[in-house]
């Protein structure tokens, strides 16, 4: 159905305002206490007793994944693999992998540094989105492997075969570590504690 330009513009503005309200909805869960400080009074999430791991185990798994992912990407940049010096076929996917890394790190760091019980808006931003972000990063690493292989097939390894093998290893390690974090977040069981049920 065709919408006149004015109607389309009005609809777009309305959608933007609605989206903005949703992003700021959590602010209504803060209230001033007797000392004038803002205090969170909204819903929280805690790990269920039936979860396959405790809170310490959950944090440890996410932290280990974070270290492995960051270490693997740093190693990818330092290894003198074919194409990493001047080939757009490899450098562009590597740059996209870095962007995917930042997106993943934002979720993982949010999980590691969030207070416990975890506030609902932080749970929604970090725990719930971590599996999808992990898949995106793993996919970026797989694309990087394919592009590296294409570069070697076209231009050869130039005597850098060991570096190419190491590059593949670190890409696989980074992808596996990110998927491990995503699996950890997805398999964890959380209990939603509504605002009305909280006892501070």
Residue 175 burial (C-beta neighbours within 10 Å; 0-12, 13-18, 19+): buried
* CATH value of 44-197 in 3.40.366.10, 3.30.70.600, 2.40.10.10, 1.20.120.230: 1.20.120.230
Tallying the residues shown for the chain, one arrives at 200
What pLDDT was estimated at residue 9? 62
What torsion do the CA atoms of 176, 177, 183, 189 make, to the nearest 10 degrees?
170
Residue for token pair 């749970």: 123
User: Residue ranges of the chain with pLDDT lower than 70?
Assistant: 1-32, 34, 196-200
Residues 48-55: contacts with CB under 8 Å, at least 24 apart? 48/189, 48/190, 48/191, 50/189, 51/188, 51/189, 51/190, 52/187, 52/188, 52/189, 53/184, 53/188, 55/116
CB 66 within 8 A of CB 181: yes
Q: What is the pLDDT of residues 39-67, one digit of tens each?
A: 888 899 999 999 999 999 999 999 999 99
Could you give the CA distance from residue 157 to residue 168 in angstroms, rounded to a whole number? 13
- What is the C-alpha to C-alpha distance for residues 184 and 174, in angstroms, rounded to an integer? 15
Q: Distance (Å, rounded) from C-alpha 73 to C-alpha 173?
A: 9
Res 39: pLDDT: 82
The pLDDT assigned to 36 comes to 72
Cis geometry, peptide bond prior to residue 62 (ω within 30 degrees of 0): no
Q: Does residue 87 contact residue 149 with C-beta atoms inside 8 Å? A: no
């Amino acid at each position: 159905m065709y919408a006149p330009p004015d109607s389309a513009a009005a609809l777009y503005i309305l959608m933007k305002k609605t989206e903005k309200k949703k992003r700021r909805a959590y602010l209504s869960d803060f209230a001033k206490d007797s000392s004038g400080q803002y205090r969170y009074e909204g819903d929280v999430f805690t790990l269920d007793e039936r979860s396959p791991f405790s809170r310490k185990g959950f944090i440890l798994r996410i932290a280990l994944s974070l270290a492995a992912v960051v270490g693997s990407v740093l190693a990818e940049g330092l290894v003198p693999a074919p194409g990493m010096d001047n080939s757009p076929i490899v450098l562009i996917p590597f740059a996209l992998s870095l962007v995917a890394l930042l997106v993943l790190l934002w979720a993982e760091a949010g999980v590691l540094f969030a207070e416990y019980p975890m506030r609902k808006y932080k749970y929604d931003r970090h725990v719930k989105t971590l599996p999808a972000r992990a898949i995106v990063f793993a996919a970026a690493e797989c694309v990087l492997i394919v592009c590296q292989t294409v570069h070697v097939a076209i231009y050869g390894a130039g005597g850098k075969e060991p570096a190419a093998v190491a590059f593949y290893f670190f890409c696989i390690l980074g992808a596996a570590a990110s998927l491990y974090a995503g699996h950890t977040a997805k398999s964890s069981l959380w209990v939603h504690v509504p605002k009305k049920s909280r006892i501070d």
